[in-house]
Chains A and B, each alone.
Chain A
Amino acid sequence: MNSSADTTDPILKVSDLRVEFDTYGGIVQAVRGVNFEVSEGETLAIVGESGCGKSVTVQSLMGLIPMPPGRITSGSAQYRGQEILGRTRINGRELRGSEIGMIFQDPMTSLNPTMTIGDQIAETLQVHRGFSKRDAAARAVELLSLTRIPEAEQRAQQYPFEFSGGMLQRAMIATAIACEPSVLIADEPTTALDVTIQAQILDLLNDLQRDNNMAIILITHDLGVVARMADNVAVMYAGEMVEQGTAHDIFYRAAHPYTLGLRAAMPSNVDETAQSLQPIEGSPPDLFAPPPGCGYCARCPHAVEVCATKPPPRFSLEAKHNVKCWQHHQDAPSPPTELFLSSTTQAGDTAAP
């Protein structure tokens, strides 16, 4: 961004990321031009309904997209200014597990069932930091206590089947932060856990972030989690980020009809106007043949003609707040009042109608 002086350099900056998959039914365009960035000590939440490409987005940064059938067709991802897309090391150093850590949705299946928890934490230290087996094991115990697992010493000797789901996710976190990464990617880290455990895990992530000044990319369905954790939010729909802004922007000044729909459809104690839950009618577009215009057009209560034919450009509303919706074009006839409309609406960087 050009103007705001207080923004620190982003630690991770992704632009125009496009990912597709070959399937029997054709080519699935899972991610269709995604831009986002995240800075040190900051949490970016990526929200959106199932299948919109959240996991594919972060997995392509981690080199976890199976290729084939997957393919990264364009884009760039810069970690501390260096290109990392399509590679897993810079300057001969492995990034994954060392600079960028990742935790997954289902802790029950995400750990190796035949290896002790301690060994699974220790091995990243041995591989990336050259720890001896002994030092790594000792550090693994420290990391387990850091993630608030009681009797860490004994627990480190145990196998995943001896742990509960919440403890497994703590162990996953301990593994991911073992090498003190600058970025932690958490793909729905609490979806498989019950509510009280969920809160504990989120608190843990918050504390770890404060202590290590990590950037966190948090994928979630749950706006409650967003409210609790996020500094910035990216709303994803059908492989695109349709709205991005601070958590405050998204909760109080939503500028995209989909964001509004999402808020109405999700139980959230933040939205003070929440009455009954309103499902969004219809289903996301076919990613085999995405519509020529806006992906949300068919479900959008405010759609106009141009929405069906031309993809909306990105309109910047404020420094961090941008949206892909034709209603923000200066010539839009009568923008709906429930959308937040910047007084100085301007055409964004991509295109003019």
Chain B
Amino acid sequence: MWIYAGRRVIQGIITVWFIATATFVAMHSVPGDPLLSDKAMTAEIRANLAAKYGLDKPVFPDQYMTYIGNMLQGDFGISFTQQNREVNDIIREHFPVSAALGILAVLFAALGGILWGALTALYRNKLPDIIIMFLVILGISVPSFVFAALGQLGLVGLNSWAGQTVLPVAGWGTVSHMLVPALVLGLSTMAFLTRLMRSSMLEIVNSDFVRTAKAKGLPPTRIFLKHQLRNAVLPVITVLGPAIAAITTGGFVVELVFAIPGLGRYFVEAVQQSDYTVIMGTTVFYGAFLVFMVILVDLVYGLIDPRVSVE
């Protein structure tokens, strides 16, 4: 188990290094100059900045080595467009917001997917199954900004119907601010996981070992929890890593609609303004975050499925 975990972490570090290098190469091959884009920059500032980032030196190896070296020390540099803001500060300030939203969304998606999936499988071809599977198709095919807008509309309606603010329509700060955005954010993943869970559960329900459990005379709840659910949930866990990636990267739209001060918004703004340090910093940070989430998911999988931990 520990050897396996260690190996995965080393693989993860290599992956992150790869992401960092790829980002670096990509940023240097797009046309444009970060220091030219801002008109209000004097020649003096420009020279200072160029010296600070070593922009007067060749890209390889000098600039690259500086970049990697700084990153190893946890320094992603200073924003090109926001005065005096370190990329680290931006991440530190806004990532927790995105992470809280993302974690809640993943929780909604995973629990909802498992619950609805199991339910549809148990009620196969009956009314609950038909209704939920219809909603699943909606959830998968309708883009998230539509749900975001609808969710906000729903909140407005709810609040005016209740005559008071049941749940805030936008903004950030309390758990009640998070609920609807997180639900919207997790919705398509929940729909996807529901479908996966349903097919996995249908397979398990007809499996030999569930028949054995019945022949052992175990009560249905025990069969469901100990024999069906635990095995049916395995395929869902394997895709949870990519699902977390989908949710975190899909957070931009929801953050924008609900006016949530998350990292996604800064990332999009940075791209629009060619804010090189912010782009590189957030990309590498997101990349590292996702890589380690996937590792975490795989380790959890190893705990649930005894067959993988030994390999």
Contacts and interface: CB of A to CB of B under 8 A. Distances in A.
A114 B304 contact: yes
Q: How large is the interface on B (under 10, 10 to 19, 20 to 34, 35 or more residues)?
A: 20 to 34
- Main secondary structure, interface of B, reads helix
B217 A95 contact: yes
Contacts of A175: 212, 216
Given A114-B231, A159-B306, A109 B207 contact: yes
A102 B213 CA distance: 10
A116 B251 CA distance: 41
A159 B310 CA distance: 11
Given A112-B231, A159-B307, A104 B222 contact: no
Given A113-B231, A114-B306, A159-B307, A124 B209 contact: no
B44 interface: no
A159 B234 CA distance: 16
Contacts of B222: 123, 127
Contacts of B173: none
A94 B217 CA distance: 6
A142 B218 CA distance: 21
A113 B209 contact: yes
A131 to B, nearest CB: 14
A64 B215 CA distance: 7
B57 interface: no
A96 B304 contact: no
Interface in A47-100: 62-64, 66, 88, 94-98
Contacts of A127: 216-219, 222
A161 B305 CA distance: 11
Contacts of A176: 215-216
B213 A112 contact: yes
Contacts of A97: 215-218
Interface string A104-133: 101001111111100000011001100000
B305 A124 contact: no
B8 interface: no
Interface in B154-206: 206
Nearest to B226: A115
A95 B231 CA distance: 26
Interface string B289-311: 00000000000000011110000
Contacts of A66: 206
Given A112-B209, A115-B226, A102 B219 contact: no
Interface in B207-256: 207-209, 211-219, 222, 226-227, 230-231, 234
Given A113-B231, A115-B227, A127-B222, A96 B217 contact: yes
A102 B212 CA distance: 8
Nearest to B305: A114
Contacts of A94: 217
A183 B227 CA distance: 25
B143 to A, nearest CB: 37
A322 B105 CA distance: 68
Interface residues of A, number: 31
Contacts, number: 78
A172 interface: yes
Contacts of A104: 208, 211-212, 215
A96 B304 CA distance: 28
A211 to B, nearest CB: 21
Given A113-B307, A114-B306, A127-B219, A64 B227 contact: no
A159 to B, nearest CB: 4
A57 B19 CA distance: 61
Contacts of A110: 208-209, 211-212
B208 A109 contact: yes
Contact of B227 (A88, A106, A112): A112
A195 B16 CA distance: 54
A172 B212 contact: yes
Contact of B217 (A106, A114, A124): A124
Contacts of B230: 114-115
A106 B207 CA distance: 11
Nearest to A175: B216
A124 B222 CA distance: 11
A237 to B, nearest CB: 25
A109 B216 CA distance: 15
A88 B216 CA distance: 11
Given A109-B208, A113-B209, A161 B307 contact: yes
A98 B219 CA distance: 13
A116 B306 CA distance: 9
A159 B218 CA distance: 20
A63 B307 contact: no
Given A94-B217, A175-B212, 13 more contacts: A62-B215, A96-B214, A96-B216, A102-B215, A104-B211, A109-B207, A109-B209, A111-B209, A112-B226, A114-B305, A127-B216, A127-B217, A127-B218
12 contacts: A88-B217, A97-B217, A109-B209, A112-B209, A112-B231, A115-B226, A115-B227, A116-B306, A123-B222, A127-B216, A127-B222, A161-B306
The 10 closest A-B pairs by CB, nearest first: A96-B217, A97-B217, A97-B216, A109-B208, A94-B217, A102-B215, A159-B306, A110-B208, A112-B209, A110-B212
